A and B are shown apart, each in its own frame.
Chain A
Amino acid sequence: MNPRSCVNIHKEWDIVGARQLGREMAKEIGFGTVDQARIATAVSELARNIYLYAKNGQVCFEYIYTNSQKGILMTAVDTGPGIKDISRVMQDGYTTSGGLGAGLPGVKRLMDEFDIESAAGEGTKIKAIKWIR
């Protein structure tokens, strides 16, 4: 009833695969083009983080429904080194990879709900939801 689709991330091209799946699922449930782009971009950021820092992980999508709204939930899970200081990675401009440092805080702004759990040495789990307006 509530299908869940996942993409395993272990090579660079998987990032593209993940964002294509994210965009398709967003389109199917009825997101507009702008929100499709937001979701696909958020997927891209999360998948890249997995590829860069954890090497191995998974990005999953599922539709969620409440009484008043519907949306898409994405979960990015990896078993990499984890994040020591979460508040720091949520700051704009903080980067360890030489990127723009827009990744995680950017994802938070792109999506409606954002939740991150991480422990050093145990990996990271990020959940993000976008509701249909």
Chain B
Amino acid sequence: MRIPILKLHNYLLISIQTEIDDQTAIKFQEDLLAKIHKTGATGVVIDLTSVDIIDSFIAKVLGDVVSMSDLMGARVVLTGIQPAVAMTLIDLGIHLQNVPTALDLEQGLVKLHQELGG
């Protein structure tokens, strides 16, 4: 299973709709980095509205993706994390300290626009 990555101007948009298993997550990490490399995108929004479980592995992959993309010059914002998921992450002791977040896709794009000084 592959997670589709859409391109919009300088941005990449990803909406994760399926239950993520470890392979899908790792595959997604590779795909996204390759896409950033190919398109030269400067901003990425990953929308997690439909994701109802993030365990420590998925959280690590997401955190890594953010740092890796940063290294490649693309800013990532995570959007739409559900309350139940947020509480579970806090219980797990995972705070995703350096990961920018926004309420929804729209505000995620606004945030990227501000941060990139566009």
A and B touch in the complex (CB under 8 A): yes
Question: Are A106 and B53 closer than 8 Å at their CB atoms?
Answer: no
* A84 lies within 8 A of chain B by Cβ: no
Which residue among A12, A100, A110 has the maximum number of chain B CB atoms within 10 Å of its CB?
Answer: A100
Interface of B, helix, strand, loop or mixed by DSSP: helix
B21-58, CB < 8 A from A: 21-23, 52-57
Q: Using A15-B22, A37-B87, A38-B88 as known contacts, say yes or no to A44 and B93 having CB atoms under 8 A apart.
A: no
- Taken together as a complex, chains A and B put the C-alpha atoms of A15 and B82 apart, in Å, by 21
Q: Which of A19, A34, A92 contacts B93 (CB 8 A)?
A: A92
- Taken together as a complex, chains A and B put the C-alpha atoms of A110 and B90 apart, in Å, by 9
- Taken together as a complex, chains A and B put the C-alpha atoms of A110 and B54 apart, in Å, by 13
- Taken together as a complex, chains A and B put the C-alpha atoms of A26 and B84 apart, in Å, by 14
- Taken together as a complex, chains A and B put the C-alpha atoms of A99 and B54 apart, in Å, by 14
A74-133, CB < 8 A from B: 92, 99-100, 102-103, 105-106, 109-110
* B71 lies within 8 A of chain A by Cβ: no
Question: Are A45 and B88 closer than 8 Å at their CB atoms?
Answer: no
* B8 lies within 8 A of chain A by Cβ: no
Q: Which of B21, B57, B88, B92 contacts A13 (CB 8 A)?
A: B21
- Interface flags for A37-54 (1: CB within 8 Å of B; 0: not) read 110110011001000000
- Taken together as a complex, chains A and B put the C-alpha atoms of A23 and B84 apart, in Å, by 13
Q: Using A92-B93, A102-B92 as known contacts, say yes or no to A37 and B55 having CB atoms under 8 A apart.
A: no
Residues of B within 8 A of A23 (CB): 53
Contacts beyond the supplied A45-B55, A106-B94: 19 A-B pairs with Cβ under 8 Å: A12-B23, A15-B21, A16-B19, A19-B53, A20-B19, A33-B84, A37-B87, A38-B87, A41-B53, A41-B54, A41-B88, A48-B55, A99-B60, A100-B94, A102-B56, A102-B93, A102-B94, A110-B91, A110-B92
Residues of A within 8 A of B (CB): 12-13, 15-16, 19-20, 23, 33-34, 36-38, 40-41, 44-45, 48, 92, 99-100, 102-103, 105-106, 109-110
Residues of B within 8 A of A (CB): 19, 21-23, 52-57, 59-60, 82-85, 87-88, 91-94
